Amino acid sequence: MKSGQTLSEITSKSITQLEQVIQLEKPDMVLVHGDTMTTFAGGLAAFYNQVPIGHVEAGLRSYDKYSPFPEEVNRQLVGVLADLHLHLLKMLHRIC
């Protein structure tokens, strides 16, 4: 990431570069973590290549699309795209 980049620039560059990796590696699933712009870009690149998506740290919601910005919308959009939703608290309860 470079200083002064917009969210659109980060997203579009990330999608383009991640798509190249997906096409080269041909994964069975792409795991994305959290709620960053690259999380969303990874999910979208996987979706565009018809690769299933697993979202680690799924389910967190503020229900205000501007708070935190842009993380809340990133979480919601990845939630729509994801085939597997991994909620950390539920996973911890199973381990402990």
Q: What is the pLDDT of residue 95?
A: 58
Q: What is the pLDDT of residue 90?
A: 60
Domain count, the chain: 1
User: Has residue 34 been placed in a domain?
Assistant: yes
User: Has residue 18 been placed in a domain?
Assistant: yes
What does the pLDDT look like over 66-86, one tens digit per residue?
999 999 999 999 999 999 999
User: Has residue 85 been placed in a domain?
Assistant: yes
**At residue 89, does pLDDT exceed 80?**
no
User: Has residue 17 been placed in a domain?
Assistant: yes
What does the pLDDT look like over 25-57, one tens digit per residue?
999 999 999 999 999 999 999 999 999 999 998
CATH of the domain at 39: 3.40.50.2000
Alpha helices in 1-96 (DSSP H): 7-25, 37-48, 71-81, 88-95
User: Has residue 11 been placed in a domain?
Assistant: yes
User: Has residue 48 been placed in a domain?
Assistant: yes
For 58, the domain range is 7-95
Between the alpha carbon of residue 44 and those of residues 49, 72, 94, the distances in Å are: 9, 16, 30
User: DSSP 3-state assignment of 86?
Assistant: strand
Q: What is the pLDDT of residue 7?
A: 94
User: Has residue 1 been placed in a domain?
Assistant: no
User: Has residue 2 been placed in a domain?
Assistant: no
